[in-house]
Amino acid sequence: MSDAPQFPPLFSGMPLSGHADPFAKAQMQATLGCDAGLVVYNISDTLLRAAMVFAPDVTLQNALPVTIACGLGFQNALGALAPPEVSIHLEWHGGIRINGASCGQFRIAGSTQHADAHPDWIVVGLELPLRPRDADTPGQRPDQTWLYEEGCVEVAPPNLIGAWARHTLVWINRMESDGLAPLHAEWRGLAQDLGEEVSWNVGGKEEIGTFVGVDEEFGALLRRGNATRLIPLITLLEGKT
């Protein structure tokens, strides 16, 4: 196990300790003008947290699929490091499912919340529970799990963070060269609850319906009765901290 993540070219790391939040710190660094590719991370015995800084040269609307690239990058990274029987799926609203149970989430923030504006930065955060804080205390939800409880105890968190960066870079390069079609093709096979009834908390609002897919820009399509509602990716944006 390496002591620090190994990052691909143009990426750099900033370790944190204690209770410091990488998602908030990355936004602060981005506001101060740090380079794109900064990965802020904090690894404890029970929790892995990390956040990537991006500096898109397109509108916010066109840049938001970077969160899909980050999700695919994580799935590919953990899939390469975990035992082959471990399944990893992605919820549209940022949740991570490991062997069918909830295990962590993605978050996204930007310097603007206006779809047609050009953001100075976008930050994608990752939270992944490694083990329960108290082995005798069950999770808050019956479908909640932890990475090490799912046969991944040999997955070293620094290696996972470095692999996440490398695989995400691959998807960003594909997105820039080939558009969103490759991301759509990969994501469809990993999407959790596709074709199922869902109840999501999106931006503090409950969204209920049958998750029938996404539009060209990865907005979620929920059907209730004869009506289909579009929930754009920008709904997931937490905004500037």
Mean pLDDT of 156-183: 97
SS3 22: helix
Numbered ranges of CATH 3.30.930.10 in the chain: 12-188
d(CA 134, CA 130): 12
Q: Where in the chain is the domain with CATH 2.30.30.100?
A: 197-236
Confidence (pLDDT) at 142? 72
Residue-wise pLDDT for 18-52, tens only, equals 999 999 999 999 999 999 999 999 999 999 999 99
**What's at 59, amino acid-wise?**
T
pLDDT at residue 240 in the model: 44
CA-based nearest residue to 125, from 241, 6, 46 = 241
- Whether residue 1 is predicted with pLDDT greater than 60 in this model: the reply is no
CATH 3.30.930.10 at 12-188, yes or no: yes
Q: Looking at residues 145-156, what average pLDDT do you find?
A: 96
- Cα gap 110→199, rounded to integer Å: 26
Q: What is the dihedral of CA 6, 128, 164, 220, to 10 degrees?
A: -160
Average per-residue pLDDT in the chain? Answer: 94
Give residue 143's pLDDT: 86
> Does position 241 have pLDDT exceeding 70, yes or no?
no
- 122-143 per-position pLDDT tens digit: 999 999 999 997 766 655 667 8
CATH 2.30.30.100 fits 197-236, yes or no: yes
Q: Using one digit for the tens of pLDDT, what is the confidence trace for 68-105?
A: 999 999 999 999 999 999 999 999 999 999 999 999 99
Tens of pLDDT, residue by residue over 47-67, are: 999 999 999 999 999 999 999
CA 38 to chain centre: 16
Rg (CA), the chain: 17
Check residue 149 and give its pLDDT: 94
pTM for the model? 0.94
